[in-house]
Structure 1
Amino acid sequence: MSLESALSVALTLRGAEAHALLCDGALPACAECEASLYPRIERFVRQGPQRDLCRDCFWPAERVYSELGIRVHRYSDWLTDEDRHAAAEIAGRHPVEDIHDLVIDDLPIGEHALAGALRFFATGSIDAEPHGEAVLRRYLEAAVLTARATTRLMRAIDFQAVMVTHGIYVPWGIVSTVARREGVRVVTWNVAYRKRRFIFSHDDTYHHTLMNEPVEHWQDTELKPQQERELMSYLASRREGLFDWIVFHRPTRQDPHEIAAKVGVDLSRPVIGCLTNVSWDAQLHYPANAFPSMLEWLVQTVEYFAARPELQLLVRVHPAEISGFPVSRQPILSELKKRIAQLPGNVIVVPPESGISSYALMSLCNAAVIYGTKMGVELSSVGLPIIVAGEAWIRNKGITHDASSPDEYFRLLDRLPFAGRLTPEQQARARRYAYHFFFNRMIPLPFIEPKAGYPIFQLRLDTFDPLRPGATQGLDLICDGILHGKPFHTDERRERRVAASV
């Protein structure tokens, strides 16, 4: 069973009629496809995933749902020959430079197609990819087919809610946008940082909702001493990843002064941290971003600091570039050096393969500038001032300095170095949000078991009893959200016993 099939059973046990929509090889590209799986990408361009990935994708899922008594819909059942012809024609007709902004029937088809192609290549741009355009056109064709199939399905059956993982890429992002247009409530989910926990969101991908959720959910809740200890203990554990699903490196304990000497930082001059993120991840349109891409932000940041020799910029390249899944095919340092061949002397770069802890590096800093990394939540909790230029989830919380244009960003940089760390009031606010983020928004499911490989978890269910109403508070909360639109955060309802054990 998968998480989604288990949720189908749980919803059925609560009186709902659950359906499953499965691709039966009808799409010419999808989120399961990655360049790393195709040593010869021209093979994927010619024949897509049907001769390999599709063979082992559809039938196991269909068998599980059928054995559970869940009604299964196949994509091909909701597509016609005219749909297939039209999708191929649309994918071949539009100029490649226009695809990102392509909207069809009020659906941002092109945005999700491009996000899917970037994920396929694990890169922030397809411009340098020899087969980039051909792969993008496959994703565009798949997006059009998904839109047509799901539109027809949702108009034939009166669904009350649709649940998808991520809520972006192809097909999940297209399913979400069709549902919203058709007036069907949307629920998205993804694996959370903490083991056995998941993030669910209403209406949109969590990449958007976590930036924009109402601050009333957390800002007025003072942390009790036990909660603060619990939070700080967990944040300390993240340095080694003891309670998390994914760990990019396991650094040993390191003395900050030794680290400074090792990387070449002069502690007599102010140091500003700069944390990158993976360039291909969740490449959607974020209206509040100050720059069009992380690379452009990084280039202009380095150029700015070249004119501020009294400061040092300590760039930490995200370890997930080489240890994440999929591995990035566009190393940010290589891209930076294409634009700035000789880095300024006051810019120090710690590469992704370095075993030096990012937390230890940031302890050397007066402040940090970030684009989309999640570390802003943690660093602000320990008092470090943060300047945000991109889609980081700490944005819009009244904690960080948020820039929505280059001019605004550079005005913030002009204020560096800051006079001090966050005030006690600011740090308390940061910790209230961090607690909400790591403890209330990440919903525990104790029947989920971490495992090596992909996927990173498996279900530990001998019977359906843990799926029944009242058996698991986290599952009750998720089902209440799906069925009745209730918030997906635990507040005081969370299972403290589970939290203590994970």
Structure 2
Amino acid sequence: MNYSKIISSIIRFLKKASGKDFLSEYNKVKKIKKSRNTKYNIIIIPFFFDNNHAFEAIYNRKAEFEGVDVYNYLCGQGIEYCEKINSVMKFKNIRCELCYKKQIEFSSKFNLNSWFMNDHINYQDNLVIEENIERFFSNDKNNFIFKGVNINKVLKSSLQRFYFEAEPVISDNQITRGFLKTIFISIIEFEKLYNKVNPKYVLTSHGTYSVWGSIVEYCKYHNIPIIVWGRVYNNWGIYFANDESYLTEMVNLDNNKWNDIKMTTQKKKLIVDYLDKRTSESDTDFIYDYNSDHKKQLDKSNIYKLLDIPKDKKIVGMFPNIPWDGSVTGVSEAFSSYIDWVKATIDFFIKRKNIYLLIRTHPAEKANDAEIGRETFSTIVNEIYNELPENIIIIPADSQINSFAVGKASEFGTYYCSTIGMELTYLGIPLICAGPSPLRNKFIVNDAKNKNDYQNLLSKGLKNKLKVSKTNMKNLLKFSYYNNFTRVMPEQFINYTRQGFKGLKFNDETFIFKNEVLEHLFQTIENKNDYNFDEFHL
């Protein structure tokens, strides 16, 4: 079927319905000429989803103004499966056509050097790819290395994203082979581009899944500087990391980066105001502010009444991530998997029927997720247990009983790796960290080192021996300030809300060229300095 006319109609409809499209809005911006002198080359891997390529387009222009030749690495429909394709999505071909048209429009409107994968894949490449797919299935998958990349590691995150499952089965089927082909193509064609242009550095988003993940792993192995960006909770700002996903960089961060921060009155006010907004009933417009629909916080007595819990019983809160999302950020020191943590926690409280475990499902889960094929916390539990005792209660994502209310009603809480760790600790609620959380190993929460240690921490919590100390709170404020302000470039170019892209904050490219924040970022990357945006927040 020829989708061209259908796609064009859909694009026109979407633009009309949303009212704002980055490329259309950029047409209104007054242009300036780029520098003719070439200092060096870089590679950018744009993210074509919901106008996310806006930042990369702006960085393209900044680099060109500075005399840098930018090469954009695009699929050009050279791959069938990627991070924008998933198991519950309908009309895959139309989705791919939409993305491809965006790539073409992006390249032509900005007159970019674009390297499309589909233009460079040759017969020999296909032979190598097919040979390695067969080798992958006939060898030890866990240790299969291609050009320095652990293929299984990248493939697992790809399938987690595709199936929305914490522990997807890696079986020999069309989907797995499709993602393997994407991974091999991404590596092979990137290597060609790299050898051709010899870039000073590479810029990409996320740093995980099939395309981004394979290239980050390739660059890391071959000592190619790669900068990974992602939007964060603080007013749509951007976090940058070097040589790994920005998500894992937060977890693996050297404590020396933030421990010596001098918390001035102004810095403390910034982080306290930020945390107050995140944990209060006030309306905010932070990215992914999942609690915005249920800001009204019930008190402890109401929770006991609503859940029919006897007043003499103690409550412990459990705060799981969305299963697949909690598993993709890294490996737990204490547990073999997210599911292993779920089972260990529930089993502990099954034996202690005098204590009520309230499991507050992540608010980003939707009531119909299981119906449309997404793995939810409840589907994981139902696969392990035929039924749960009355002292273990799963609170659904859309419940009026939010995570903060559960935390305040609890003796202590246990969580895997979500931002709830920061929020509940700020509210003075002791927490046990079981997974790869950014707060881990930072003397803020109680880190479980192994399964036995986890059970010991649970027992200590039941004896009222877990507390949020002054040192814990001091470290929380320092690290949270560093993670949400020092490391975050404030968004000065694009208007974003929860509903998405709402327009540009400038009408002349001179703004890009002269913008102090972007200049600071550019110089930081060029000179390999630490990311520090303090001066633009204070």
- TM-score class, shorter-chain normalisation, is 0.7 to 0.9
Residue 339 of structure 2: aligned partner: 295
Distance 1:381 1:254 in 2: 16
Do the aligned residues in 2 keep the contact of 1:113 with 1:139 (CA within 8 Å)?
yes
Distance 2:397 2:139 in 1: 32
Counterpart check, 1:281 vs 2:321: no
Residue 38 of structure 2: aligned partner: none
Residue 45 of structure 1: aligned partner: none
Letter of the 2:115 partner, please give it. Answer: H
Residue 233 of structure 1: aligned partner: 273
Quickly say closer, same or farther: Cα 1:476–1:365, change in 2 above 3 A.
farther
1:438 CA drift (Å): 2.1
Letter of the 2:196 partner, please give it. Answer: A
Q: Secondary structure at the match of 2:324?
A: coil
2:303 pairs with 244, 259, 266, which one?
A: 259
Residue 319 of structure 1: aligned partner: 363
Counterpart check, 1:30 vs 2:30: no
Distance 1:353 1:126 in 2: 26
Residue 187 of structure 1: aligned partner: 227
Counterpart check, 1:14 vs 2:61: no
Letter of the 1:4 partner, please give it. Answer: E
Quickly say closer, same or farther: Cα 1:158–1:440, change in 2 above 3 A.
same
Letter of the 1:146 partner, please give it. Answer: S
Residue 397 of structure 1: aligned partner: 442
Distance 2:444 2:403 in 1: 21
CA RMSD of aligned residues (A): 2.7
1:376 pairs with 412, 421, 424, which one?
A: 421
Letter of the 2:404 partner, please give it. Answer: Y
Residue 171 of structure 1: aligned partner: 211
Structure 1 stretches lacking a partner, 5+ long: 40-48, 497-502
1:205 CA drift (Å): 0.3
Distance 2:283 2:531 in 1: 25
Equivalent residue runs for 1:340-359 within 5 Å: 340-359=385-404
Letter of the 2:344 partner, please give it. Answer: Q
Do the aligned residues in 2 keep the contact of 1:269 with 1:311 (CA within 8 Å)?
yes
Quickly say closer, same or farther: Cα 1:477–1:347, change in 2 above 3 A.
farther
Do the aligned residues in 2 keep the contact of 1:274 with 1:316 (CA within 8 Å)?
yes
1:361 pairs with 402, 406, 411, which one?
A: 406
Distance 2:412 2:433 in 1: 11
Structure 2 stretches lacking a partner, 5+ long: 1-22, 24-53
Quickly say closer, same or farther: Cα 1:331–1:420, change in 2 above 3 A.
closer
**Which segment is superposed worse, 317-326 or 285-294?**
317-326
Residue 99 of structure 2: aligned partner: 57
1:100 CA drift (Å): 5.2
Letter of the 2:323 partner, please give it. Answer: S
Cα deviation code 1:334-361 (max 9, x no counterpart): 2212212221332222111213221111
Quickly say closer, same or farther: Cα 1:253–1:285, change in 2 above 3 A.
closer
1:161 CA drift (Å): 0.7
1:99 CA drift (Å): 4.1
1:405 CA drift (Å): 2.3
Q: Secondary structure at the match of 2:259?
A: coil
Letter of the 1:91 partner, please give it. Answer: I
Equivalent residue runs for 1:144-163 within 5 Å: 144-163=184-203
Counterpart check, 1:442 vs 2:488: yes
Report the number of matched residues: 480
Do the aligned residues in 1 keep the contact of 2:83 with 2:158 (CA within 8 Å)?
yes
**Which segment is superposed worse, 439-448 or 458-467?**
458-467
Quickly say closer, same or farther: Cα 1:116–1:337, change in 2 above 3 A.
same
Distance 2:376 2:325 in 1: 13
1:126 CA drift (Å): 3.3
Residue 110 of structure 1: aligned partner: 152
Do the aligned residues in 1 keep the contact of 2:316 with 2:412 (CA within 8 Å)?
yes
**Which segment is superposed worse, 167-176 or 312-321?**
312-321
1:229 CA drift (Å): 3.4
Distance 2:138 2:178 in 1: 12
Cα deviation code 1:347-393 (max 9, x no counterpart): 22211121322111111122211112121112222222221111111
2:112 pairs with 64, 70, 74, which one?
A: 70
What TM-score does the superposition give when structure 2 sets the normalisation length? 0.82
Do the aligned residues in 2 keep the contact of 1:114 with 1:139 (CA within 8 Å)?
no
Distance 2:536 2:66 in 1: 20
Cα deviation code 1:71-95 (max 9, x no counterpart): 1111123322121233234335533
Do the aligned residues in 1 keep the contact of 2:259 with 2:478 (CA within 8 Å)?
yes
Quickly say closer, same or farther: Cα 1:489–1:100, change in 2 above 3 A.
farther
Residue 4 of structure 1: aligned partner: 56
Do the aligned residues in 2 keep the contact of 1:270 with 1:311 (CA within 8 Å)?
yes
2:351 pairs with 290, 307, 313, which one?
A: 307
Distance 2:342 2:102 in 1: 44
Distance 1:433 1:16 in 2: 35
Do the aligned residues in 2 keep the contact of 1:271 with 1:366 (CA within 8 Å)?
yes
Residue 207 of structure 1: aligned partner: 247
1:490 CA drift (Å): 1.8
1:170 CA drift (Å): 1.3
Q: Secondary structure at the match of 1:17?
A: strand
Quickly say closer, same or farther: Cα 1:352–1:297, change in 2 above 3 A.
same
Cα deviation code 1:155-179 (max 9, x no counterpart): 2221111111100001011111222
Distance 1:253 1:282 in 2: 26
1:300 CA drift (Å): 1.3
**Which segment is superposed worse, 144-153 or 74-83?**
74-83
Distance 1:345 1:132 in 2: 41
1:68 CA drift (Å): 2.5
**Which segment is superposed worse, 278-287 or 318-327?**
318-327
Cα deviation code 1:252-276 (max 9, x no counterpart): 4233121232124455343221100
Q: Secondary structure at the match of 1:52?
A: helix
**Which segment is superposed worse, 420-429 or 441-450?**
420-429
Residue 500 of structure 1: aligned partner: none
1:324 CA drift (Å): 11
1:310 CA drift (Å): 4.1
Q: Secondary structure at the match of 1:238?
A: helix
Cα deviation code 1:37-90 (max 9, x no counterpart): 227xxxxxxxxx5x4233221333333334324311111233221212332343
2:530 pairs with 464, 487, 493, which one?
A: 487
Quickly say closer, same or farther: Cα 1:232–1:188, change in 2 above 3 A.
same
Distance 1:464 1:148 in 2: 35
Q: Secondary structure at the match of 2:317?
A: strand
